[in-house]
Chains A and B, each alone.
Chain A
Amino acid sequence: MKRLVGQAVLLTILALVFGLGRNMVGSNTIPWVGDWAERDSVLAEIAKNPEALPASAQDGDPPFLTLAQAMERHSQPDVVFLDAREPQDFEAGHIEGSLLLPFDYFDDYWPAVQEKLTPETRIVTYCSGAECELSLFLARHLRSIGYPNVEIFFGGWTIWQEGGQPIESGPPTS
Protein backbone atom coordinates (compact mmCIF):
# COMPACT_ATOMS: atom_id res chain seq x y z
CA MET A 1 0.00 0.00 0.00
CA LYS A 2 2.83 2.33 0.90
CA ARG A 3 4.54 1.57 -2.40
CA LEU A 4 1.31 2.16 -4.31
CA VAL A 5 0.74 5.55 -2.73
CA GLY A 6 4.37 6.54 -3.17
CA GLN A 7 4.34 5.71 -6.88
CA ALA A 8 0.98 7.39 -7.47
CA VAL A 9 2.10 10.55 -5.69
CA LEU A 10 5.36 10.66 -7.64
CA LEU A 11 3.59 10.19 -10.99
CA THR A 12 1.08 12.89 -10.06
CA ILE A 13 3.79 15.35 -9.06
CA LEU A 14 5.72 14.65 -12.26
CA ALA A 15 2.57 15.23 -14.32
CA LEU A 16 1.96 18.53 -12.54
CA VAL A 17 5.55 19.62 -13.11
CA PHE A 18 5.51 18.71 -16.80
CA GLY A 19 1.98 19.96 -17.47
CA LEU A 20 2.25 23.27 -15.66
CA GLY A 21 5.91 23.69 -16.59
CA ARG A 22 5.17 23.29 -20.27
CA ASN A 23 2.58 26.04 -20.00
CA MET A 24 5.25 28.45 -18.71
CA VAL A 25 7.55 28.03 -21.68
CA GLY A 26 6.97 28.00 -25.42
CA SER A 27 4.20 29.56 -27.42
CA ASN A 28 1.32 27.13 -27.13
CA THR A 29 0.18 28.31 -23.71
CA ILE A 30 -3.19 29.01 -22.11
CA PRO A 31 -4.09 31.29 -19.18
CA TRP A 32 -4.09 29.58 -15.78
CA VAL A 33 -7.70 30.52 -15.31
CA GLY A 34 -9.86 30.65 -18.42
CA ASP A 35 -12.69 33.10 -19.03
CA TRP A 36 -15.40 30.47 -19.04
CA ALA A 37 -18.03 32.84 -17.72
CA GLU A 38 -17.90 34.79 -20.97
CA ARG A 39 -18.17 31.65 -23.07
CA ASP A 40 -21.08 30.54 -20.93
CA SER A 41 -22.89 33.80 -21.48
CA VAL A 42 -22.46 33.49 -25.25
CA LEU A 43 -23.75 29.93 -25.15
CA ALA A 44 -26.63 30.90 -22.87
CA GLU A 45 -27.61 33.66 -25.26
CA ILE A 46 -27.67 31.14 -28.08
CA ALA A 47 -29.57 28.58 -26.02
CA LYS A 48 -32.20 31.16 -25.11
CA ASN A 49 -32.81 32.06 -28.71
CA PRO A 50 -31.47 29.37 -31.01
CA GLU A 51 -33.73 30.41 -33.83
CA ALA A 52 -32.59 34.04 -33.84
CA LEU A 53 -32.90 35.35 -37.35
CA PRO A 54 -30.81 37.96 -39.12
CA ALA A 55 -32.20 41.47 -38.96
CA SER A 56 -32.66 41.53 -42.70
CA ALA A 57 -34.55 38.24 -42.94
CA GLN A 58 -37.76 38.50 -44.93
CA ASP A 59 -40.72 36.28 -45.58
CA GLY A 60 -39.91 33.92 -48.41
CA ASP A 61 -36.22 33.66 -47.57
CA PRO A 62 -34.69 30.17 -47.75
CA PRO A 63 -35.22 28.15 -44.54
CA PHE A 64 -33.02 28.83 -41.53
CA LEU A 65 -31.47 25.85 -39.77
CA THR A 66 -30.76 25.32 -36.09
CA LEU A 67 -27.49 23.68 -35.06
CA ALA A 68 -29.25 20.32 -34.66
CA GLN A 69 -30.70 20.60 -38.16
CA ALA A 70 -27.35 21.66 -39.59
CA MET A 71 -25.72 18.65 -37.92
CA GLU A 72 -28.32 16.39 -39.50
CA ARG A 73 -27.64 17.91 -42.96
CA HIS A 74 -23.91 17.57 -42.41
CA SER A 75 -24.28 13.86 -41.72
CA GLN A 76 -25.74 13.37 -45.19
CA PRO A 77 -23.08 12.94 -47.87
CA ASP A 78 -25.11 14.59 -50.64
CA VAL A 79 -25.56 17.92 -48.84
CA VAL A 80 -22.99 20.59 -49.75
CA PHE A 81 -21.97 23.23 -47.20
CA LEU A 82 -20.90 26.56 -48.69
CA ASP A 83 -18.80 29.01 -46.69
CA ALA A 84 -19.69 32.60 -47.60
CA ARG A 85 -16.90 34.23 -45.59
CA GLU A 86 -13.56 35.70 -46.71
CA PRO A 87 -10.95 33.21 -47.97
CA GLN A 88 -8.62 33.87 -45.02
CA ASP A 89 -11.43 33.05 -42.58
CA PHE A 90 -12.06 29.83 -44.46
CA GLU A 91 -8.39 28.88 -44.33
CA ALA A 92 -8.22 29.53 -40.59
CA GLY A 93 -11.03 27.05 -40.03
CA HIS A 94 -14.30 25.93 -41.54
CA ILE A 95 -17.02 23.32 -41.24
CA GLU A 96 -15.63 19.97 -42.27
CA GLY A 97 -16.08 19.29 -45.97
CA SER A 98 -17.44 22.72 -46.83
CA LEU A 99 -16.56 24.61 -50.02
CA LEU A 100 -15.37 28.20 -50.17
CA LEU A 101 -17.72 30.61 -51.94
CA PRO A 102 -17.21 34.13 -50.55
CA PHE A 103 -20.27 36.24 -51.26
CA ASP A 104 -18.10 39.30 -51.80
CA TYR A 105 -16.05 37.59 -54.52
CA PHE A 106 -18.79 35.38 -55.86
CA ASP A 107 -17.77 35.59 -59.52
CA ASP A 108 -14.16 34.61 -58.81
CA TYR A 109 -15.04 31.48 -56.89
CA TRP A 110 -18.28 30.41 -58.52
CA PRO A 111 -16.86 28.42 -61.49
CA ALA A 112 -14.97 26.00 -59.20
CA VAL A 113 -17.98 25.52 -56.95
CA GLN A 114 -20.47 25.26 -59.79
CA GLU A 115 -18.69 22.15 -61.10
CA LYS A 116 -19.64 20.35 -57.92
CA LEU A 117 -23.32 21.31 -57.94
CA THR A 118 -26.38 20.41 -59.91
CA PRO A 119 -29.66 22.33 -59.73
CA GLU A 120 -30.96 19.56 -57.46
CA THR A 121 -28.05 19.65 -55.01
CA ARG A 122 -29.06 20.34 -51.40
CA ILE A 123 -27.01 23.29 -50.20
CA VAL A 124 -26.42 24.81 -46.78
CA THR A 125 -24.82 28.26 -46.63
CA TYR A 126 -23.14 29.70 -43.58
CA CYS A 127 -20.85 32.52 -42.51
CA SER A 128 -19.31 33.52 -39.20
CA GLY A 129 -22.50 33.63 -37.18
CA ALA A 130 -25.12 35.92 -35.73
CA GLU A 131 -23.53 39.20 -36.74
CA CYS A 132 -22.99 38.25 -40.38
CA GLU A 133 -25.54 38.05 -43.14
CA LEU A 134 -23.39 36.79 -45.99
CA SER A 135 -24.95 33.35 -45.68
CA LEU A 136 -28.39 34.87 -46.23
CA PHE A 137 -27.26 36.94 -49.21
CA LEU A 138 -25.46 33.96 -50.74
CA ALA A 139 -28.51 31.72 -50.27
CA ARG A 140 -30.84 34.27 -51.88
CA HIS A 141 -28.47 34.68 -54.79
CA LEU A 142 -28.07 30.94 -55.33
CA ARG A 143 -31.80 30.49 -55.36
CA SER A 144 -32.20 33.29 -57.88
CA ILE A 145 -29.75 31.62 -60.27
CA GLY A 146 -31.49 28.26 -60.19
CA TYR A 147 -30.49 26.35 -57.06
CA PRO A 148 -33.78 26.03 -55.14
CA ASN A 149 -32.70 23.49 -52.48
CA VAL A 150 -30.71 25.94 -50.41
CA GLU A 151 -30.90 26.43 -46.65
CA ILE A 152 -29.11 28.78 -44.29
CA PHE A 153 -27.26 27.84 -41.15
CA PHE A 154 -27.34 31.27 -39.59
CA GLY A 155 -25.55 30.19 -36.41
CA GLY A 156 -22.63 29.64 -38.73
CA TRP A 157 -19.03 29.04 -37.86
CA THR A 158 -19.39 30.34 -34.27
CA ILE A 159 -22.17 28.04 -33.22
CA TRP A 160 -20.79 25.06 -35.13
CA GLN A 161 -17.45 25.40 -33.39
CA GLU A 162 -18.94 26.09 -29.97
CA GLY A 163 -21.09 23.02 -30.43
CA GLY A 164 -17.93 20.94 -30.83
CA GLN A 165 -18.83 19.83 -34.35
CA PRO A 166 -16.30 18.57 -36.95
CA ILE A 167 -14.06 21.27 -38.39
CA GLU A 168 -10.98 21.48 -40.56
CA SER A 169 -8.62 24.20 -41.75
CA GLY A 170 -6.55 25.07 -44.79
CA PRO A 171 -7.23 26.38 -48.27
CA PRO A 172 -9.94 24.83 -50.41
CA THR A 173 -8.94 21.76 -52.36
CA SER A 174 -10.15 21.66 -55.90
Chain B
Amino acid sequence: MRILKNDWLLLIARLVLGGFFIYAAIDKIAHPADFAKIVHNYRILPGDLINIFALFLPWLELLCGIALVAGTYTLGASALLSGMLVMFLVAVSAAIARGIKIDCGCFSTSGDGAREVGMPLIYQDTALLLLGIWIWARGSGRWALSHFTSAAR
Protein backbone atom coordinates (compact mmCIF):
# COMPACT_ATOMS: atom_id res chain seq x y z
CA MET B 1 0.00 0.00 0.00
CA ARG B 2 2.48 2.60 -1.20
CA ILE B 3 -0.30 5.06 -1.69
CA LEU B 4 -0.73 5.32 2.06
CA LYS B 5 2.85 6.51 2.32
CA ASN B 6 2.48 9.37 -0.15
CA ASP B 7 3.15 12.70 1.55
CA TRP B 8 1.15 14.68 -1.00
CA LEU B 9 -1.93 12.59 -0.39
CA LEU B 10 -1.39 13.03 3.31
CA LEU B 11 -1.30 16.78 2.81
CA ILE B 12 -4.55 16.65 0.87
CA ALA B 13 -6.14 14.52 3.57
CA ARG B 14 -5.10 17.03 6.22
CA LEU B 15 -6.49 19.95 4.20
CA VAL B 16 -9.77 18.14 3.54
CA LEU B 17 -10.38 17.00 7.11
CA GLY B 18 -9.08 20.21 8.67
CA GLY B 19 -10.98 22.42 6.24
CA PHE B 20 -14.15 20.45 6.82
CA PHE B 21 -14.00 21.05 10.55
CA ILE B 22 -13.05 24.73 10.27
CA TYR B 23 -16.02 25.29 8.00
CA ALA B 24 -18.30 23.32 10.31
CA ALA B 25 -17.18 25.27 13.38
CA ILE B 26 -17.68 28.83 12.17
CA ASP B 27 -21.46 28.96 12.00
CA LYS B 28 -21.79 27.19 15.36
CA ILE B 29 -19.46 29.67 17.04
CA ALA B 30 -21.47 32.53 15.57
CA HIS B 31 -24.81 31.11 16.79
CA PRO B 32 -24.30 29.45 20.19
CA ALA B 33 -27.97 29.54 21.19
CA ASP B 34 -29.07 27.79 18.01
CA PHE B 35 -26.35 25.22 18.29
CA ALA B 36 -27.34 24.49 21.91
CA LYS B 37 -30.88 23.76 20.68
CA ILE B 38 -29.49 21.29 18.17
CA VAL B 39 -27.43 19.57 20.87
CA HIS B 40 -30.58 19.38 22.97
CA ASN B 41 -32.52 17.86 20.07
CA TYR B 42 -30.19 14.86 20.06
CA ARG B 43 -31.36 14.09 23.62
CA ILE B 44 -28.11 12.57 24.75
CA LEU B 45 -26.51 15.06 27.13
CA PRO B 46 -28.03 16.03 30.49
CA GLY B 47 -29.60 19.50 30.37
CA ASP B 48 -27.04 21.15 32.65
CA LEU B 49 -24.18 20.30 30.32
CA ILE B 50 -25.77 21.25 27.00
CA ASN B 51 -24.82 24.93 26.89
CA ILE B 52 -21.23 24.39 28.09
CA PHE B 53 -20.82 21.64 25.51
CA ALA B 54 -22.30 23.84 22.77
CA LEU B 55 -19.83 26.60 23.63
CA PHE B 56 -16.82 24.31 23.82
CA LEU B 57 -17.25 21.84 20.95
CA PRO B 58 -17.12 24.25 17.98
CA TRP B 59 -13.89 25.77 19.30
CA LEU B 60 -12.34 22.35 19.61
CA GLU B 61 -13.40 21.67 16.01
CA LEU B 62 -11.90 24.96 14.89
CA LEU B 63 -8.58 24.60 16.72
CA CYS B 64 -8.09 21.00 15.63
CA GLY B 65 -9.01 21.96 12.08
CA ILE B 66 -6.48 24.77 12.02
CA ALA B 67 -3.81 22.51 13.54
CA LEU B 68 -4.37 19.89 10.84
CA VAL B 69 -4.31 22.39 7.99
CA ALA B 70 -1.14 24.00 9.32
CA GLY B 71 0.42 20.66 10.15
CA THR B 72 1.26 21.21 13.77
CA TYR B 73 -0.04 19.31 16.79
CA THR B 74 -1.16 16.84 14.14
CA LEU B 75 -1.14 13.86 16.44
CA GLY B 76 -3.37 15.40 19.08
CA ALA B 77 -5.63 17.13 16.56
CA SER B 78 -6.21 14.04 14.41
CA ALA B 79 -6.89 11.93 17.50
CA LEU B 80 -9.39 14.47 18.84
CA LEU B 81 -11.11 14.86 15.45
CA SER B 82 -11.35 11.08 15.10
CA GLY B 83 -12.82 10.93 18.60
CA MET B 84 -15.35 13.62 17.69
CA LEU B 85 -16.31 11.75 14.53
CA VAL B 86 -16.89 8.57 16.55
CA MET B 87 -19.04 10.64 18.89
CA PHE B 88 -21.01 12.11 15.95
CA LEU B 89 -21.48 8.64 14.48
CA VAL B 90 -22.85 7.36 17.79
CA ALA B 91 -25.14 10.39 18.19
CA VAL B 92 -26.47 10.22 14.63
CA SER B 93 -26.96 6.44 14.82
CA ALA B 94 -28.81 6.83 18.09
CA ALA B 95 -31.06 9.49 16.55
CA ILE B 96 -31.79 7.26 13.56
CA ALA B 97 -32.41 4.21 15.76
CA ARG B 98 -34.79 6.15 17.97
CA GLY B 99 -36.53 7.62 14.96
CA ILE B 100 -35.83 11.24 15.92
CA LYS B 101 -36.07 13.44 12.85
CA ILE B 102 -33.75 16.33 13.51
CA ASP B 103 -31.50 18.76 11.74
CA CYS B 104 -28.02 17.30 12.13
CA GLY B 105 -26.46 20.68 12.90
CA CYS B 106 -23.35 19.67 10.98
CA PHE B 107 -22.53 22.91 9.21
CA SER B 108 -25.32 25.35 9.80
CA THR B 109 -27.38 26.15 12.86
CA SER B 110 -29.93 28.29 11.04
CA GLY B 111 -31.86 25.57 9.34
CA ASP B 112 -30.95 27.03 5.96
CA GLY B 113 -29.47 24.18 4.00
CA ALA B 114 -30.12 21.99 6.98
CA ARG B 115 -29.54 18.28 6.72
CA GLU B 116 -31.61 15.75 8.47
CA VAL B 117 -29.79 12.93 10.21
CA GLY B 118 -29.73 9.89 7.97
CA MET B 119 -27.55 7.29 6.30
CA PRO B 120 -25.66 9.71 3.97
CA LEU B 121 -24.39 11.44 7.08
CA ILE B 122 -23.16 8.10 8.46
CA TYR B 123 -21.23 7.47 5.23
CA GLN B 124 -19.74 10.95 5.25
CA ASP B 125 -18.61 10.76 8.87
CA THR B 126 -17.19 7.26 8.35
CA ALA B 127 -15.14 8.47 5.38
CA LEU B 128 -13.84 11.40 7.42
CA LEU B 129 -13.06 9.08 10.31
CA LEU B 130 -10.91 6.92 8.02
CA LEU B 131 -9.02 10.04 6.94
CA GLY B 132 -8.58 11.01 10.59
CA ILE B 133 -7.23 7.61 11.59
CA TRP B 134 -4.85 7.57 8.64
CA ILE B 135 -3.47 11.00 9.55
CA TRP B 136 -3.26 9.92 13.16
CA ALA B 137 -1.21 6.87 12.16
CA ARG B 138 1.04 8.79 9.77
CA GLY B 139 1.62 12.07 11.60
CA SER B 140 1.85 15.34 9.74
CA GLY B 141 4.18 14.13 6.97
CA ARG B 142 6.58 16.26 5.05
CA TRP B 143 4.41 19.19 3.98
CA ALA B 144 3.67 20.52 7.41
CA LEU B 145 4.60 23.44 9.57
CA SER B 146 6.11 21.13 12.14
CA HIS B 147 8.42 19.65 9.54
CA PHE B 148 10.05 23.02 8.94
CA THR B 149 10.01 24.42 12.43
CA SER B 150 10.75 21.25 14.36
CA ALA B 151 7.79 22.21 16.50
CA ALA B 152 5.50 19.57 17.94
CA ARG B 153 4.48 17.08 15.26
Contacts and interface: CB of A to CB of B under 8 A. Distances in A.
Interface of A: 3-12, 14-16, 18-20, 22-23, 28-34, 36-37, 39, 96, 164-168
23 contacts: A4-B76, A4-B79, A6-B76, A7-B77, A8-B80, A11-B64, A11-B80, A12-B60, A14-B59, A15-B57, A16-B56, A18-B63, A20-B52, A20-B56, A28-B31, A32-B51, A33-B52, A34-B36, A39-B37, A39-B40, A164-B37, A167-B112, A168-B112
A4 B32 CA distance: 29
A22 to B, nearest CB: 7
Given A6-B76, A8-B76, A30 B36 contact: yes
A11 B48 CA distance: 23
Interface in B43-77: 47-48, 50-52, 54-60, 62-64, 67, 73, 75-77
A34 B50 contact: yes
Nearest to B80: A8
Shortest 9 CB-CB contacts between residues of A and residues of B: A7-B76, A15-B60, A19-B59, A36-B47, A15-B59, A8-B76, A164-B103, A19-B56, A19-B55
Contacts of B67: 11
B55 A36 contact: no
B32 A23 contact: yes
Determine the main DSSP class of A at the interface with B: helix
Nearest to A36: B47
A45 B94 CA distance: 24
B27 to A, nearest CB: 12
Nearest to B30: A28
- Residue of B58, B60, B152 with highest tally of chain A CB at under 10 A: B60
Nearest to A17: B59
Given A23-B55, A30-B32, A11 B111 contact: no
Interface residues of B, number: 40
Contacts of A164: 37-38, 41, 102-103, 111, 114
A30 B51 contact: yes
B70 to A, nearest CB: 13
Given A28-B30, A39-B40, A34 B64 contact: no
A18 B66 CA distance: 14
B32 A28 contact: yes
Contacts of B54: 30
Interface in B66-120: 67, 73, 75-77, 79-80, 102-103, 110-112, 114
A16 B50 CA distance: 14
Nearest to B61: A15
Contact of A3 (B40, B48, B57, B75): B75
Given A34-B40, A39-B37, A166-B112, 12 more contacts: A3-B153, A8-B80, A11-B64, A11-B80, A19-B57, A20-B56, A28-B32, A30-B51, A32-B52, A33-B52, A34-B50, A166-B111
A34 B38 CA distance: 13
B29 interface: yes
